[in-house]
């Protein structure tokens, strides 16, 4: 009985919200602005065409990123991006970086493409983001300087912090078939 009532209430919520003058329907352009495709999964699905290397990434980084993340990714005023294993509380402004914390090179692409630069996300082209990922992976000592980031190469990069990523016990119990790439 209680469940039936709850369902009824949930079904009535949109109507209720409308009656109270809450919320509004989004215009297609507004939805579009949030709908960042591709969505890149850890195994690399969704990565777009394109490629970029350290030299190209160096330039984009200096122009688009250094003001917030430091000329060498050392952080300040915002997050540190470059630091090797292991974590160290000595590293200001905080100790998590790509080299000691980020588990997949593929999702680094996704994050930058989706969210950076902070003040104007979505302004970068896939080639620029590939170049940034190559630059950041080299700076973190994960790949050699001649590395070319692309849809083919990023899924093959083994990140130092991958070894620390585990499914939590409840997720493992509920979804025993899930395996992390």
Site residues (vs ligand HEC, CB under 6 A): 64-65, 67-69, 78-79, 81, 96, 111-112, 116-119, 132
Angstrom distance (rounded) from CA 150 to CA 49: 7
Give the nearer residue to ligand HEC in terms of CB position, either 24 or 137. Answer: 137
Give the nearer residue to ligand HEC in terms of CB position, either 38 or 117. Answer: 117
Least distance in Å: CB of 168 to ligand HEC? 19
Residue 148 three-state SS: strand
Angstrom distance (rounded) from CA 117 to CA 150: 20
Give the nearer residue to ligand HEC in terms of CB position, either 105 or 150. Answer: 105
Least distance in Å: CB of 29 to ligand HEC? 24
Least distance in Å: CB of 119 to ligand HEC? 5
Least distance in Å: CB of 153 to ligand HEC? 18
Give the nearer residue to ligand HEC in terms of CB position, either 98 or 150. Answer: 98
Give exposure, 103-117, as e/b (b: 16+ Cβ within 10 Å): bbbbbbbbebbbebb
- Which of 77, 144, 63, 73 shows the shortest CA–CA distance to 108? 73
Least distance in Å: CB of 7 to ligand HEC? 36
- Which of 79, 143, 75 shows the shortest CA–CA distance to 105? 143
Give the nearer residue to ligand HEC in terms of CB position, either 12 or 88. Answer: 88
Q: In sequence order, which residues have a C-beta less than 8 Å from that of residue 149 and are 6 or more positions away?
A: 51, 52, 53, 105, 109, 130, 131, 133, 134, 137
């Amino acid at each position: 009985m209680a469940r039936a009532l709850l369902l009824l209430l949930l079904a009535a919520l949109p109507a209720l919200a409308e009656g109270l003058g809450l919320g509004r329907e989004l215009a297609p352009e507004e939805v579009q602005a949030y709908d960042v495709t591709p969505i890149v999964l850890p195994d690399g699905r969704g990565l777009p065409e394109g490629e970029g290397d350290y030299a190209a990434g160096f330039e984009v980084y200096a122009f688009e990123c250094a003001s917030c993340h430091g000329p060498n990714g050392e952080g300040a005023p915002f997050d540190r991006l470059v630091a090797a294993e292991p974590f160290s509380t000595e590293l200001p402004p905080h100790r998590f970086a790509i080299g000691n914390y980020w588990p997949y090179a593929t999702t680094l692409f996704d994050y930058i493409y989706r969210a950076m630069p902070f003040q104007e996300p979505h302004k970068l082209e896939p080639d620029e983001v590939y170049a940034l990922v190559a630059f950041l992976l080299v700076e973190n000592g994960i790949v050699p300087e001649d590395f070319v980031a692309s849809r083919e190469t990023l899924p093959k990069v083994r990140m130092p912090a991958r070894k620390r990523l585990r499914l939590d016990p409840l997720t493992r119990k509920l979804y025993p078939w899930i395996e992390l790439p």
